[in-house]
Chain A
Amino acid sequence: MKPLTPVNPGARIALGIGFFVVFFAVWGAVTLGGFVSKTFLADPLSMVASGWTLVQQGFLSDIGMTVWRVLGGFAIATVAALPLGVAMGAYKPIEAFFEPFVSFARYLPASAFIPLLILWAGIGEAQKLSVIFIGSFFQLVLMIAVAVGNTRRDLVEAAYTLGSSDVSLVKRVLIPGAAPEIAEILRMVLGWAWTYVIVAELIGASSGIGHMITDSQALLATDQIIFGIIVIGLIGLVSDFAFKWINRRLFPWAQLGR
């Protein structure tokens, strides 16, 4: 192995799958070999079996609920964060006004708001969406502001010498220039939103993957808990790939020369 030498695509996929194989093999060996008690950790086979049972009992609608909560909360956060983030990135006084508060707010743990949110919004969907919103909005705002603020100064100057006004500079240079990075930010923060939704569903929910996990906890059904966790992982992976694919399609120019 030489440092920084690229690996060919075939070997890359094989290596990537390889780790999953190793992971499941080790897990299977420890559990099926009797090294770990079934109460602590279920083996892969019973995980798959109980997963199948769960699906037959209507687990798919729980998955649907969770996905909708993530996407809903995330969409609301994005719609609110985009204009504010762009405004902060483009106009320094606006940034000076909001940035200290947003920097502080992003360290407020979304999960700690759950008791408050239950008080304010009840235990319905509004509360779940609010958790996702709080967890992603402040992060999005700050990162979008940085992306917009990092626009190359020489491009800004070029636009001015071509006759751009301040408003058209924002619309035609700052936003399109930062767009691929903003799309990357959305992809990353969506990944974080997945972790918040489960927390939101652990408390005061009657549906969703997190709710199933809490139910299983009462029964010590570690196989179901693990199944739930793996489902979340898979959905996260799929949404990540979808996002990457869309970004490549939307911004072919940003891929050039990489």
Chain B
Amino acid sequence: MRDGPMTTATTLLSVRGVARSFPSQSGGAPTVALQATDLTVAENDFITILGPSGCGKSTLLRIVAGLDRQTSGEVLLDGHTISGPGAERGMVFQSYTLFPWLSVRDNVCFGLRERGLPRAQQLEAADAFLGKVGLRGFENHFPKQLSGGMQQRVAIARALANGPRMLLMDEPFGALDHQTRELMQELLLGIWEAERKTVLFVTHDIDEAVFMGSRVVVMSARPGRIKLDRKVPLAHPRHYSVKTSPEFAALKAELTEQVRVEVRAAQESVATAA
């Protein structure tokens, strides 16, 4: 079994035999983006999914979000089959997806308003979560007035304020510069350590995967499948200095090796296809 030691905890999400293929443009065999994949996510877990670009890790996340449809298999959240997107699975995207016509505060209120919460409660929740991501004082700004890192902080606050069962993150810091990225990792980890919201986090950054995750899942080159599933042996709360610890280095070395092989494989398959 791949699931490792976390199976004893309550299962929140189970991905069972989920595969995705795209019909070929030229009428040939369909392109397989994701091979039949199983993944069990326990309540309060922080799982990072690592893999070369194009390995289907985002496809897997989008299927869990309900934004993409699997060709076979099923995804269960709390034992119920997922058939489309919903508020119980909050998502943070790599692109900046704040609604540009809404103020920062109204962006965070968006989901709460969809649920028909009274305005006073919406504002209370929005301000609380904006405080948690360190954006008090920016409530009335428009998204375009904020830096990329700040916009992603609002996006995290927007997803969390909605009270989802789990948070799906698709390379949320991928467009940020290195320094901002590290600060965002600490911010998100701090929030997770305080709230223990279940997170599924896709990245291609090995440091990020190890630092943030309580479990790291490595995916193979296309067609993607899970080839490795490791528990991260680092205690919480984690300080950024943990990145220099021997445990961190050991796991990073192993994962680097594993990912390297896949990146190679991905490049070779592109080369043969061309």
Contact = CB atoms under 8 A, between A and B. Distances in A.
Nearest to B67: A157
A54 interface: no
A85 B90 CA distance: 31
Contact of A253 (B84, B89, B142): B142
Given A177-B99, A177-B101, A161 B87 contact: yes
B158 interface: yes
A132 B91 CA distance: 47
A163 B86 contact: yes
Nearest to B115: A163
Nearest to A179: B101
A154 B144 contact: no
A257 B85 CA distance: 32
Interface string A138-155: 000000000000001011
A251 interface: yes
A239 interface: no
B138 interface: no
Given A154-B95, A155-B99, A179-B101, A162 B158 contact: yes
B159 to A, nearest CB: 8
Interface string B77-111: 00000001111011101010101111000000011
A163 B97 contact: no
Contacts of B65: 157, 161
B111 A163 contact: yes
B87 A154 contact: no
A176 B142 CA distance: 14
B101 A251 contact: yes
Measured as residues with beta carbon below 8 angstroms from the partner, the interface class of chain A is 20 to 34
A19 to B, nearest CB: 34
Measured as residues with beta carbon below 8 angstroms from the partner, the interface class of chain B is 20 to 34
B114 A155 contact: no
A161 B161 CA distance: 13
B145 A173 contact: no
Contacts of A254: 100-101
B93 A158 contact: yes
Contacts of A163: 86-87, 111, 114-115, 162
B114 A176 contact: no
A159 interface: yes
A168 interface: yes
A85 B65 CA distance: 30
A184 B199 CA distance: 42
Contacts of A168: 114
Given A163-B114, A168-B114, A158 B91 contact: yes
B114 A162 contact: yes
A2 B2 CA distance: 62
Contacts of B66: 160-161
A160 B93 CA distance: 13
A157 B93 contact: yes
Contacts of B93: 154, 157-158
A186 B100 CA distance: 21
Interface in A188-218: none
A48 B248 CA distance: 85
B144 A161 contact: no
Contact of A157 (B90, B97, B144, B145): B97
Given A157-B93, A168-B114, A162 B101 contact: no
Interface in A169-186: 172-173, 176-177, 179
Interface in A105-156: 152, 154-155
A164 interface: yes
A176 B158 contact: no
A253 B97 contact: no
Contacts of B86: 161, 163
Contacts of B110: 159, 162, 172
Interface in B142-158: 142-145, 155, 158
A160 B67 contact: yes
B142 A157 contact: no
A110 B102 CA distance: 40
Nearest to B158: A162
A256 B145 contact: yes
Nearest to A175: B101
A159 B102 CA distance: 13
For the complex of A and B, 4 pairs with smallest distance between CB atoms: A163-B87, A162-B111, A160-B85, A158-B97
Interface of A: 152, 154-155, 157-165, 168, 172-173, 176-177, 179, 251-254, 256-257
Given A161-B67, A162-B110, A163-B111, 15 more contacts: A154-B95, A157-B65, A157-B91, A158-B91, A159-B110, A160-B84, A161-B65, A163-B114, A163-B115, A164-B114, A173-B99, A177-B99, A251-B101, A254-B101, A256-B145
